[in-house]
Structure 1
Amino acid sequence: MNKKFFILVILLFSTTLNFANNVKSKFKVIAFYTGKNDQAHISFVHEANRWFPEMAEKYNFSYDSTTNWENLNSKFLSKYQVVLFLDTRPERPEQRAAFQKYMENGGGWMGFHFSAFALKNSTYDMNWDWYHNIFLGSGEYGSNTWRPTTAILKVENIKHPVTKKLPSTFKAQPNEWYRWQNDLRKNPEINILLAIDSTSFPLGTGPKESEIWHSGYFPVVWSNKNYKMVYVNMGHNDIDYEHKIDQTNKTLSYTFGNEIQNQMIVNSLIWLGKGKKVK
């Protein structure tokens, strides 16, 4: 073989290998979901499984999703830098133990809306103290607004990677907003990132008076300083509930139809996948 040709082949091979290494995914994301209860949550899960792959291609990370919660084990989780809970939480003790170990060892996590829900004597009982009281800090579910409506959100911590380049206030997508048992402001380990701005009140349309909030402090995005985690209260699309009899259940709003809110979620993913804990 001609010596110059041989050198050229080697150079081309090296360049191709370097290019392949450069385009390798920055980090890997795995989303767990159930997708069976409440049409609004199901709609969100389907939307998320369309939107996240688009973001993965744009921001150079990989995205997988599964309904098999048995995959929540140490061996499987070792392949991923970020875990998402799109709608529910793990229920089996061994799954919960594996997730806690994953987080304590530096894994990243983002949970949406219903993933933080717990209520005594319900299908999702208040029976996981570490997750709800220590990790999330929120404790038991308290109440919610109805029906799903937009809200003006305010940035509470401008220095956190999650809120990078966000305006001081912005209009969120329609959502069912949650109130919690615990006051997160009293927990020194919790870093409140976004809360409902007072200009949102009254928030909700009812018909029950308890479903309309007129005042109060309601965090909607926060992190725990001891973990790489972000909880996002968004994740409940508005649905045409009035036509349930016809089984229409048409989606009336989309969680990922908001550029500013999307930027916050992308910021969160990139921080969870590549960043460090923020004290």
Structure 2
Amino acid sequence: MKSRKILGIFLCLLLCAALSSAQDISSKQEVKFRVVAIAEPGNKDHQGFVEAAKAYLNRLAVENNFAVDYIGDTKPINDAFLAKYKLFIQLNYPPYMWSPTAQEAIESYLTEGKGGWIGFHHAALLGDFDGYSMSPFFSKFMGDIRYTSYIPDFATATVRVEDPAHPVLKGIPSSFVVQHEEWYTWNQSPRPNVRVLASVDESTYQPDSLIKMGGDHPAIWSNEHYKARNVYIFMGHHADLFENPNFVQIFHNAIFWAAGQ
């Protein structure tokens, strides 16, 4: 009888240990936050960057216990969809081709600070493209700008940090070189309407180009008129950017800052 009691106690202890272990495993599997990234499918010009970005995001998610989902258009986007995510990333998706429901949802998401936002490169392609008119909301969000041109043959240039205290630029030197980028120009600098974090030095273009902003050419900025933590990072055309440690660090910093982590 005594041996049965001892066995019962032993089995009970084993069961408790198993339950505790299972709870620990379950706890480890619960992600800290969720990210959704949108990338236009079939865009050969940016496909290399997108695939490299996805590989980087997937690795970072595993290392830091967050989850990433990917979409190829705005059809799934509404308030309920965005409510699942702490961060929305436009990897190469433009500010047009948005359904009315999706645009209304992202406007609410950003204006009310329901989550964070990171936009790369194509996110500032503001204008009338592919039969779509320019979005007044996205134009204002990006600093009241409109796309005018780009360097079709690309140029290597130096980016100069203007706001080293901002968390997105933590660990970044005062200047760094970006290779072979197709720098956009806009009708005006967004500077009066945004917090400029870094600018491209047009005098360093190699090869030189006549397509310039005229000296004031922001390349990374945040619009603090919106509750959402947001940052636009101009670079985003080539996969080679992921061989640039400064770009990778900026991407890393932006993810955790914009997600509020």
Q: TM-score normalised to the size of structure 1?
A: 0.80
Contact 2:157-2:204 within 8 A present in 1 as well: no
Query: Which residue among 104, 126, 151 is the counterpart of 1:118?
Result: 126
Contact 1:151-1:171 within 8 A present in 2 as well: yes
Instruction: Give CA-to-partner distance per residue, 1:227-262, whole Å, 9 cap, x none.
Output: 31111101112xxxxxxxxxxxxxxx6221211210
Unaligned runs of 5+ in 1: 238-252
Distance 1:59 1:258, change over 3 A: farther
Cα deviation, residue 97, structure 1: 0.4
> Is 1:272 matched with 2:258?
yes
> Could you tell me which residue of structure 1 aligns to residue 98 of structure 2?
91
CA RMSD of the aligned region, Å? 2.3
Cα deviation, residue 204, structure 1: 4.7
> Could you tell me which residue of structure 1 aligns to residue 3 of structure 2?
none
> Is 1:81 matched with 2:86?
yes
Distance 2:156 2:29 in 1: 38
The letter for the 1-side match of 2:105 is A
Q: How many residues align?
A: 250
Distance 1:12 1:214 in 2: 64
> Is 1:158 matched with 2:164?
yes
> Could you tell me which residue of structure 2 aligns to residue 171 of structure 1?
177
Contact 1:147-1:204 within 8 A present in 2 as well: no
Contact 2:157-2:206 within 8 A present in 1 as well: no
Contact 1:146-1:205 within 8 A present in 2 as well: no
Distance 1:25 1:256 in 2: 25
Contact 2:186-2:213 within 8 A present in 1 as well: no
Distance 1:100 1:230 in 2: 15
Distance 1:173 1:10 in 2: 58
Cα deviation, residue 5, structure 1: 3.5
> Is 1:263 matched with 2:249?
yes
SS at match of 2:75: helix
Contact 1:35-1:41 within 8 A present in 2 as well: no
Contact 2:145-2:189 within 8 A present in 1 as well: no
Distance 1:204 1:124 in 2: 34
Contact 1:146-1:204 within 8 A present in 2 as well: no
> Could you tell me which residue of structure 1 aligns to residue 34 of structure 2?
28
> Is 1:228 matched with 2:234?
no
> Is 1:201 matched with 2:203?
yes
> Could you tell me which residue of structure 2 aligns to residue 2 of structure 1?
8
> Could you tell me which residue of structure 1 aligns to residue 189 of structure 2?
183
Distance 1:124 1:168, change over 3 A: farther
Question: Which 4+ runs in 1 deviate beyond 3 A?
Answer: none
Distance 1:172 1:10 in 2: 56
Distance 1:71 1:220 in 2: 30
Distance 1:143 1:163, change over 3 A: same
Distance 1:254 1:110, change over 3 A: same
Cα deviation, residue 167, structure 1: 1.4
Distance 1:167 1:23 in 2: 36
Instruction: Give CA-to-partner distance per residue, 1:45-70, whole Å, 9 cap, x none.
Output: 22222222122122322111111321
Contact 2:91-2:120 within 8 A present in 1 as well: yes
The letter for the 2-side match of 1:192 is V
> Could you tell me which residue of structure 1 aligns to residue 196 of structure 2?
192
Unaligned runs of 5+ in 2: 1-6
> Could you tell me which residue of structure 1 aligns to residue 4 of structure 2?
none
> Could you tell me which residue of structure 1 aligns to residue 56 of structure 2?
51
Instruction: Give CA-to-partner distance per residue, 1:91-150, whole Å, 9 cap, x none.
Output: 222211011112223211111111110224x327552112112x1115101222342233
Q: TM-score normalised to the size of structure 2?
A: 0.86
> Could you tell me which residue of structure 2 aligns to residue 240 of structure 1?
none
Distance 2:191 2:123 in 1: 21
Cα deviation, residue 31, structure 1: 0.9
Cα deviation, residue 223, structure 1: 0.8
Distance 1:139 1:168, change over 3 A: same
SS at match of 1:99: helix
The letter for the 2-side match of 1:31 is A
SS at match of 2:259: helix
